[in-house]
Structure 1
Amino acid sequence: MQIYIVKIFRLILFILIFSASTKFLMAAELNDAKEFERWCDDFVAEYTKGQNAPIAIVIVKDAQLFFQKGYGFVDEKQAVPVNPEQTIFRAASVSKLITTTAVMKLVEQGKLDLNADINTYLKDFQIKSKFQKPITVADLLTHTSGLEERMFGNVAPAGTSPSLKEVFSRKVPREIRPAGEEIVYSNLGMALVGYIVEAVSDQKFEDFVEREIFKPLKMNHSSFLQPYPSNLANSVVPSGADDVALLHYPAGSMISTASDMGKFLLMQSNGGEPVLREETIREMQQRHFTQHPQMPGVAYGFFEHFANGRHILFHTGASGHQSLLCLLPDEKVGFYIALSATQGGKFREFRKQFLQAFLNRYFPSKEENPPTFANNNVQLEGIYRPHLLSPLTVEKLGNLALDTFVKDNGDGSITIDLPPFGTKKMRLVEIAPNLFRSDEGTYIAFDNEKMFMSGELNDPLPFGKIRWYESGILHLALFAVGTIVYGLICLLSIFFLIRSFFQKSQNSDGKKRIRQLAALTSWLYVLSPVFAFVYYFVGDSEQRPFKVEMALTIGSGFLILATLTGIFVSVLIFKNWRQMLRREKIWLAPFVAACLGAIPLMFYWNLLGFNF
C-alpha cells in the first residue's frame, strides 16, 4: 500500500512540475483578459522590482478594448495611482500618427493630393528645389523628403506658442538630398505636414485635429496645445520636459491617456470608423517605401518591424515620457504603452522588452531560418557615417563620434562596430545578396557605397561610406594635436611675459610682433570653446536651450578671428624664416602647421562662419 501511495505522490509531483514549466514554455492565447492581467502584472513587477515607475498599458483585440491598466503612482508621496482613463502622458513622437491621420482625412475630403509638390500648399514660403524630383506630401509622411533636420533651435520658452507659419517663415526648410531615396527620420518634415494641414483646411492644426479626430473618437483627455489646457494640466505625469515649448509641435507635443490611445488603436484596427474610410486606413498602413524589399520599411506615419515572423506597424516616442504604439494587422491586435522616463537606466528598454515578451507568449515565433550565404564581402568593408546630422551646420561636428566600422568575417557574416567609437559590436548574417540580419532582428542592406539600417524598434537610418581621411577618430586626433600646440604656445607666452619683467628682450620688433601674434592666435583658439561654454552654462539652467545659438556665435567669432590672425602671422613667419634662430623655428614650425592645417579641418566641420 505504501508503494502505491509513493507512486501516486510521484505522479502528482510530475504533473505539477510539468504544468508549472509549460506555463513558461508554451504559448498562451490572447483571449482571457484576466490571464493577460496576471501575466502583465508579473512582467511589470519583475521589471520594476519595487521601484515606482508610472506606466499605463492598453490592449485592443478584434476591434474591441481587451485590457487597460495603470501601474505605479503619479505622485508617490500622495499615493496617487496611475489611472489609464485619467492619467496623462506625453505621447512624444507617437503624435506623428495623429498628424498623419489628419492628412489622410484631407485626402479623403479631396483637398490634398499626396503625390503633389508640397510647394503647391505652402502659402507663406516656398522651398527651393535643388534636385529634379519635387518633394511630395507622401515623401514627408515616409521620412524620405530629403529636407535638412536640425537639432538646435527647435524649442521656445514654456508658455509661448509660436505659430507654424512664424516658425517656417523665419527659417525655411532646406533640401539637402533628393526626395524619395533615403529614410531619414524627420521631426521637421512631420511638422511641415502639420503646416500643410493648416494651409489646406484654413484652421489651426490643433483645432483641425480636435474637430476631425479627437471629438469623433471621444479622446477627451488628448491635446496638442502648448501649454497644456487648464482642464488637463493637473493630470499630466511630471516629465521634466515641460519647461520648453516645441516649435515643431505636430511632430511631438500631444498629450493623452492610455484609454484615449486605445480609442485611436480601435479606429486603426476597425476600418477607420468613425474618422476614416476603410480604404484610407489600408493605404495608411501599407508599405510605401523601403530600402530593400526584404527589410522593414515605412508606411504613412508607421514604421515596420519584423519579429517572431509577424508583421508589426509601430511608432515610438521619447520626450520626458516614453511611448510605444504597435499594431499587428494580421492578428487584429494592437497596444499602446506610456511610461515615465525619469527613472532612466533599464526603463529605457521597457518598451522593447515588453513587446518581445508579449510576442513570445501570445504570438510565438513562426518564422523559418532564412538561407545564408558564404560570400566574401570584403568590398563592403570600410567606415560609414549616418545621415542624421545636418551637413551644412556646426551640428555636423557631432559626427566626430558616429563613425561606424564594417568588417567582413569571411563566412557570410559581417561585424559592425557601432558608435561611439565602436563601443558596441553587432554580428549580422547575409540572408540575401547585400542584405544582412542580426539575431536581435536588425537588418542592414548595402547599395552603391551606402548602408541602410532598420529593425529592433529603431528608426531606419541611412549611412554613407567615407574615406579614411574623413575619419572622425583621425580628425579628433588632429584637433587634439592642434590644441596641444596652441596650449603649449599659450604657456610659452606666459613664460615670455614673466621673463620680460626681469630681462630685457634682445629680439627685434619684427620678432616681437610675430611672438605676440602667435600668442594671440593660440589664446583665441584655446578660449573659443571656453567662452562659448561659459556663456551657455552660467546663469539659469532653464534658459540653456535658448542660449545655444548665441553660444555658437561667440565660439565661431573667436575661431574666425583666430584663423585670420593665424594666416597673417604665418605669412610673417614665412617672410622672416631665414632670420629666425633655430630655437624659434622649433616652436614656430608646429604653430604654422597647426594654423594652416586647421583651416581645411574647420571648413570641413562648418566651423568657419556662423553656420547654425
Structure 2
Amino acid sequence: MSSYKGKLSIKIMLLLLLVTVVAACIVGAQTHSSAAPSVSNTLSAKPEEAADLNDVAQLTAFIDGIMNVHMDNFKIPGAVISIVKDGKSLFSKGYGYSNIKDGTLVDPETNLFRIASTTKLFTRTAVMQLVEQGKLDLDTDVNTYLKKATIPNTYSHPITMRHLMTHTAGFEEGGVGYQITTDMKKLPGSISETLAKHMPARVRPPGEMISYSNYGAALAGLIVEEVSGMAYNDYIQKYIFDPLDMKHATVQEPVPASLAPDAVLGYARKNGQFVTKPLTFEGGFRPAGSGSVSADDMAHFMIAHLQNGRYGEHQILKPETAKLMHSPSFQFDKRLPATDLGFFEENLNGLRAITHGGADELFNTEVSLVPDKQIGIFVSYSGGDGGAAARGLSQAFFDRYFPAQEAIPPQSAILESDLKKYAGSYQFTRRNHSDIDKFFNFLTKISISVAGNQLSIGSGAEQQLFTPIGPDLFQEVAGKHQMGFRTDAAGKVTYLFLDELNPMPLEPTPLIDQTMFWLPLLGISVIMFISVLTGFAYRRREIKQMSKGQKWALRLSATTSAWGLATIVATFLVVLNMDLIVRLSRITQSLQLYLVMPIILVGLTVSLLVLSVLAWKNKYWTVLKRVHYTLVALSAVTVSMFFYHWNLLGWHFG
C-alpha cells in the first residue's frame, strides 16, 4: 500500500488519532501573495553553535544514540540510515534485525527496505528524463500519451503531466478493495488495465489545489511505460538503477529471486512480541509505491539529485532538468513550502529541504535533501511507529548540525472578531466523494477555534496555538510550524495549509459532512429506537388488545427500530474497524453482506412512513403516541439519509 505520511508533529498525530477510528500543485495556478514579511526574514544574525558534521566519530555516536532510543520507544525491530554530503557517502548504518528469527542484523549495503511512496521519486525522475528528450511535455493533455486509458473531460481544462507531478490533477482518493494485495498470485498486474478499471472521479479543476493521489502517480508511470515503449520495471532498472550502480534496488513485485534473500521482513507487535506480517504489493499501482532499496543504493540516488543529475561518470538528468525538478511548481502561498516536480519542500531550521516520505502498514521511509548544503538523509524502518521516529531523527539532526537562528517574532495585530472566519471544521482535500471509501473520512476532521487573539488546534496538553504574523498566515507559538489560509474575494476561507502536513491541505467542511451534524442526529435516532423497543416490551398486554392495524403498525415500528440500531452498530463496530490491509486489498463477504442492512432499513422506513400516515388518518392511539410514532419514522429517515450520504446505501466500489 502506497500512502504518503505528511510530516505531522507528534501533537498533530495524536490529534488525528483522537478523531479517527481507522488508519491516512502547478505553475499555471494562481498563488496567494502578500506583502507581509516571511519568518525567514525576521531571523537574527547570530546562530547557535553547530556541531562539526565532518567529525564522523561524533556523528556516529549521535545517530547511534537517537536510533537506539527510538527503536526502543517506538517498538521498531529494524532500521537503516544513510547520510550523504558533498557528493560522497558520509554515514551508513543498519540497526536491529532484518530477520529476527534467524538473528540476521540489518546491513545497509545489501538489505532491501520497502520504501512505499518514496518510489514516486523514481517515477518522476523517469518522467523528467522523457521531458528533456522531448518525448513528454509538462503542459500537454495526458490523453495525448495514453493508449489504453482515457481521462474524461470533466472540466474545460485537461490534466497535464505537471498536474500529475504536483498532485493537482483533481482526482478523488480511492482504494477500498483494490489498491493493494497480499496475494502474489494476483501479480504481476497490468498498470494500464488496473488504472482503466479503477479510475477515480475528477472532483476539482486541475491546478486548483493539491490532493495527494496514488492514482495520479501510477498514471505518470503508465505514461513512462507507453511513451518509452518499455515496461515500467525495465525502464526504471535501465535508466535509473543501472547508471547509478544501484545493485540492491528494484520496483519489481515480488522482488527478484536474486534479491529476495536480502529483503527485510515486515513486523508488527502482538502480545508484546514482533511477529512477521505478509508484505503488501501495489500490483497495477506500482509506480506509486513498489520500490525496495538498500540504504547505500539510496545514497547514490540522493547524490545524483544533489549534483543536478550526476553520479560518478553518469548523468541521469541534465543539470537544467534537475534544477527544474527541484524548483517550485505549485505554491499554496509564496511564504509557505512549495511543491516541486516530484519533491515536497520543507523548512528545516531555516534551510530549504526537498523531501518525500513513504509508508505502508509495515515500513516507514523519509528522504530529505538540502541542495544548498549538499546534504541528504535517507532513513527507513521495518515496523513500529517509524513515522514519528523519522521525524524526530530529522529534526534532531538539523538541530545539532544546522541549528535554527534565534527568531524575532513578527508583529501582526488582528482582532479576535476578525479571527473567527478561520474557525471551524476542516477536512482533507485527499478524500473520496463517489464510493464507499467516503465513509472512512467520516471522523477525519481537524477543528480550529479562536483562543484570545490566536488560533487553536486541539486541547489540553496537545493544544497547538498559532499567532497571526501576516495576512492569512500564522506562526506556531513556541514552535516552528506555520499555518496559512486561502480566502476568496469576499474574505471567506477556501483552503487551509499546515506546513507540517505538506502535501495534505484541507478545506472547510460543509455542514452535511460534519460529524457534529450527524452524531447528534444519530444519537437522537438511537434514543427514539430504544424508546420504541422499551415501550413495546412493557406494553405487550396493551398491544394484544389493539386492532390488527394498530398491532402491525407497532410491530413494524419495533422491527425498524431494532434493525436501525443493529445497522448503526454494525457500521461503527464492523465497517470502521476493518483491518486496513484487508479493506484495501479485497471486498470481503462480510462487507458485502453488511451492505444489505441499509437497503433493508430503507424498505422498512418507507413502510413505516406509510403506516404513520395511516395512524393519523385512522386516529390510532392518542395524539401524543401518534407524534411519537411519527418521530420514530423520521428517525429512520434520518438514519437512511446518513447511509445514503456516506455511500453505504448500495455497493459503491471503485
2:108 is the counterpart of 1:84: yes
In structure 1, C-alpha distance between the alignment counterparts of 2:264 and 2:509, rounded to whole Å = 44
Compared CA separation, residues 385 and 531, structure 1 to 2 (3 A) = closer
Which residue of 452, 455, 467 corresponds with 1:414? Answer: 455
Residue 196 of structure 2: aligned partner = 169
How far apart are residue 486 of structure 1 and its match?
2.9
Residue in structure 2 matching 1:481, options 524, 527, 534: 524
CA deviation after TM superposition for structure 1 residue 97, in Å: 0.6
Match of residue 18 from structure 1:
none
C-alpha distance in structure 2 between counterparts of 1:277 and 1:370, whole Å: 41
The answer to whether residue 450 in structure 2 is matched with residue 427 in structure 1 is no
The answer for the alignment partner of 2:545 in structure 1 is: 506
> Could you list the per-position Cα deviations for residues 88-141 of structure 1 after superposition, in whole angstroms to 9, with x for gaps in the alignment?
111111111111111111112211111111111221121212222211111111
1:325 partnered with 2:363? no
**Structure 1 contact 122–196 (Cα < 8 Å) conserved:** yes
Deviation of 1:554 (Å): 2.9
Name the residue aligned to 2:447.
405
Q: Secondary structure at the match of 2:404?
A: coil
Supply the AA of the counterpart residue of 2:303.
Answer: L
Change (3 A) 1:504 1:290: closer
Q: CA RMSD in A?
A: 2.9
1:595 counterpart (636, 639, 644) = 636
* Structure 2 match to 1:217: 244
Greater shift in the superposed pair: 269-278 or 512-521: 512-521
Structure 1 position 77, deviation (Å): 4.9
For 2:580 and 2:307, locate their aligned partners in 1 and report how far apart those are by CA, in whole Å. Answer: 47
Deviation at 1:382, TM superposition (A): 2.4
1:385, distance to aligned residue in structure 2 (A)? 2.3
The one-letter code of the counterpart of 2:281 is A
One-letter amino acid of the counterpart of residue 333, structure 2: H
Once residues 515 and 409 of structure 1 are traced to their aligned partners in structure 2, the CA distance between those partners, rounded to angstroms, is 50
**Cα 1:61–1:253, aligned 2, differ >3 Å: closer, same or farther?**
same
Deviations 1:426-485 (A, max 9, x none): 2112222111121433322112222322323x3322222235565312311211322343
Q: Distance in 2 between matches of 1:537 and 1:315?
A: 29
2:240 and 2:156 map into 1 onto residues whose CA distance is: 36
Aligned: 1:97 with 2:146: no
Q: Is the 8 A contact 1:444 1:451 kept in 2?
A: no
Superposition pairs of residues 184-203 of structure 1, within 5 angstroms: 184-203=211-230
Q: Which amino acid aligns with 2:442?
A: L
Partner SS, residue 350 of structure 1: helix
Residues 330-369 of structure 1 mapped to structure 2, 5 A cutoff:
330-341=372-383, 343-344=384-385, 347-366=386-405, 368-369=407-408
Whichever of the two has the greater Rg, that structure is: 1
Q: Is 1:463 the equivalent of 2:506?
A: yes
Cα distance in 2 between the residues matched to 1:148 and 1:539? 21
Counterpart mapping for 1:98-497 below 5 A = 98-153=122-177, 154-159=179-184, 160-161=186-187, 162-240=189-267, 242-247=278-283, 248-273=285-310, 274=314, 275-319=316-360, 320-341=362-383, 343-344=384-385, 347-366=386-405, 368-376=407-415, 377-411=419-453, 413-417=454-458, 424-438=462-476, 439-448=478-487, 449-456=493-500, 458-467=501-510, 470-490=513-533
Deviations 1:208-252 (A, max 9, x none): 111111111111111111122112222222115644322422111
Q: Decide whether aligned partners of structure 1 residues 504 and 589 sit closer, same or farther in structure 2, where only a CA change above 3 A counts.
A: closer
Name the amino acid aligned to 1:244: T
Q: Offset at 1:177?
A: 0.7
Contact 2:112 2:294 in 1 (8 A): yes
Letter in 2 for 1:431: I
For 1:256, the aligned partner's letter is V
Corresponding residue of 1:520? 559
Note if 1:604 corresponds to 2:645: yes
The whole-number CA distance in structure 2 between the counterparts of 1:551 and 1:49 is 38
| Other-structure match for 1:20 | none
Q: Secondary structure at the match of 2:340?
A: coil
Deviations 1:401-421, CA, capped at 9 Å, x for gaps? 23322223343x311238xxx
Structure 1 residues 539 and 488: alpha-carbon distance in aligned structure 2, compared to 1, 3 A threshold: same
* Alignment pair present for 1:75 and 2:99: yes
| Letter matched to residue 296 of structure 2 | S
**Residue 272 of structure 2: aligned partner:** none
Structure 2: gaps of 5 or more residues: 1-47, 268-276, 488-492
Aligned in 2, Cα 1:550/1:117: closer, same or farther, shift over 3 Å?
farther
SS at match of 1:210: helix
- Closer, same or farther in 2 for the Cα pair 1:466/1:92, shift >3 Å? closer
Shift of 1:49: 5.1
- The answer to whether residue 31 in structure 2 is matched with residue 31 in structure 1 is no
- Count of matched residue pairs: 576
For the 8 Å contact 1:532–1:552, the answer to whether it is kept is no
Query: Counterparts of 1:364 and 1:535 in 2: how far apart (Å)?
Result: 48
Please, what TM-score do these two structures have when normalized by structure 2?
0.81
Percent identical among aligned pairs is: 30
Deviation at 1:524, TM superposition (A): 3.2
Q: Secondary structure at the match of 2:496?
A: strand
**Displacement of 1:487:** 4.3
Deviates more, 1:37-46 or 1:121-130: 37-46
Q: Which runs of 5+ in 1 are unaligned?
A: 1-24
Compared CA separation, residues 249 and 493, structure 1 to 2 (3 A): farther
Separation of aligned partners in 1, 2:369 and 2:613: 69
Quote the offset at 1:192 in angstroms.
Answer: 1.2
Contact 1:100 1:141 in 2 (8 A): yes
Deviations 1:560-586 (A, max 9, x none): 221132122212221222521137436
User: Which residue number corresponds to residue 30 of structure 2?
Assistant: none
Q: Amino acid of the residue matched to residue 120 of structure 2?
A: K
